[in-house]
Amino acid sequence: MSGSDVFDEMWGSDTRLREPYRDFHDWFDQEDPRRLRAKQREAEELFRLTGITFNVYGKAEAEERLIPFDIIPRIISGPEWARLSRGIEQRVRAINAFLHDIYHKQEIVKAGRIPEEMIRRNDAFLPHMIGVTPPGGVYTHIVGVDLVRTGPGEFFVLEDNARTPSGVSYMLENRETMLRMFPELFSQNRVRPVQTYPFDLRRSLAACAPGCAASDPVVAVLTPGIYNSAYFEHAFLADQMGVELVEGHDLRVVDGRVAMRTTKGYKPIDVLYRRVDDEFLDPLNFNPDSTLGVPGIMDVYRAGGITIANAPGTGIADDKAIYSYMPEIVEFYTGERPILQNVQTWRCSEPDALGYVLDNLHELVVKEVHGSGGYGMLIGPTASRKEIAAFRRKLKARPGNYIAQPTLSLSTVPIFSRAGLAPRHVDLRPFVLVSPGNINVTPGGLTRVALKKGSLVVNSSQGGGTKDTWVLED
């Protein structure tokens, strides 16, 4: 990929400063680089003091790391965001309709738009959810849609995170840090706020409470515990919402309700924002060895006694093979053409596609259909011959486990380096809250940045960092 193919969000493709960055650039030009370097160190210290970390799993025990943060914001104009948010809303509506359909009449399968085996043989399809309609008809209460940009008006959806999307705490802490260090920037630039997200999240979850709930529904966050990679976020969101953070051993089924232990006995929960995967949610219905979930919670759920957010079984919408059908899914359920396009995707389960992928591994990105976090993937242009040969063997052994995509020329935004501003590749994860009759897209989201020069891998577990994302008022 040559540098001339890359769209820079600050300078455009022809090295002329783009309008969204004009006021910021004027400010930056007048700043003392020594002050900015001191601010960058201050930001890192703030993150350390706040405990903004994540766990990296390896061969030894989980290693706790600080998330690298860059002080140069990523800036998106109001009109650009208006189109993006319309596309995200359309996509999330379609995903919810798709989930309801596949657990009920499966009209999309009967219409021949998706092969039956794509649903029936999918590990993320949950038979326990067949015939179950969640309170308010909402399956994906919280969604993260990963976007990449390749040009001025060219945004593509890289993947959908409909199971347990993470990263919103970093979005909020990035903004808090920038407000503390550069308050003058926010008075000079009309940046849309994101700080109401915890309030919006609690209100949205409460709106999805089951019929048995009182007027002020009890909400709690279920975490696997302190060794989970996103534990900081679980604790952060519970604290910001003013709700209890609970683990499986804090909960039990009492009189047909899921209740949490308190100093005054067990108290029923109406809405459980779970950050525990389906497999570990209920040892009576799923993995019998799980100590992370609540025995019998699925029976209470199916009886309408609790809302689980996100609903069990939503993971099938995360599947990268299902992702390849998203244009058909959007059109089938909304009657509209997709506003946001998918990245071209080859399903390796199909012989012709597999043949093409095997012939062009050195040019493609290959991913596991259930993979996440940058693990289990091959980036052909940067892989060694040995890595490509090893992946070729994996593909031939289990072709249905993989999809492939072209290596996109991801846009760049500047980071603050010792030499000044330097371009680095980024993606964007906007966060969406869904409640009956309402879809709320938080303006901005989490920008992840590949801090290594030339790298396309933005995941924090693979050496990436984050930066504040500004959406300007119209």
Could you tell me if 197 and 185 are in contact, meaning their C-beta atoms sit under 8 angstroms apart? no
By mean pLDDT, which of 21-30, 310-319, 362-371, 391-400 is the weakest? 362-371
**Cα–Cα distance, 168 to 174 (Å, whole number):** 10
**Per-residue pLDDT tens over the stretch 408-422:** 889 999 999 888 899
Could you tell me if 240 and 164 are in contact, meaning their C-beta atoms sit under 8 angstroms apart? no
Average pLDDT, the chain: 92
**Cα–Cα distance, 255 to 296 (Å, whole number):** 12
DSSP state of 154: E
pLDDT at 1: 37
Q: Place 60 in a pLDDT band, splitting at 50, 70 and 90.
A: very low
**Cα–Cα distance, 254 to 213 (Å, whole number):** 15
**Per-residue pLDDT tens over the stretch 35-51:** 999 999 999 888 888 77
CA-nearest of 94, 92, 84, 88 to 336 is: 94
**Per-residue pLDDT tens over the stretch 100-141:** 999 999 999 999 999 999 998 888 999 999 999 999 999 999
CATH pick for 344-407 out of 3.30.1490.270, 3.30.70.20, 3.30.2130.10, 3.30.360.10: 3.30.1490.270
Residues of the chain with CATH 3.30.1490.270: 344-407
pLDDT reading at 441 higher than 50: yes
pLDDT (mean) for 19-42: 94
pLDDT reading at 65 higher than 70: no
Phi, psi of 456, rounded to the nearest 5 degrees: -105, 0
pLDDT at 444: 94
The answer, yes or no, to whether the previous bond of 310 is cis (omega within 30 of 0) is: yes
Could you tell me if 93 and 438 are in contact, meaning their C-beta atoms sit under 8 angstroms apart? no
**Cα–Cα distance, 440 to 467 (Å, whole number):** 22
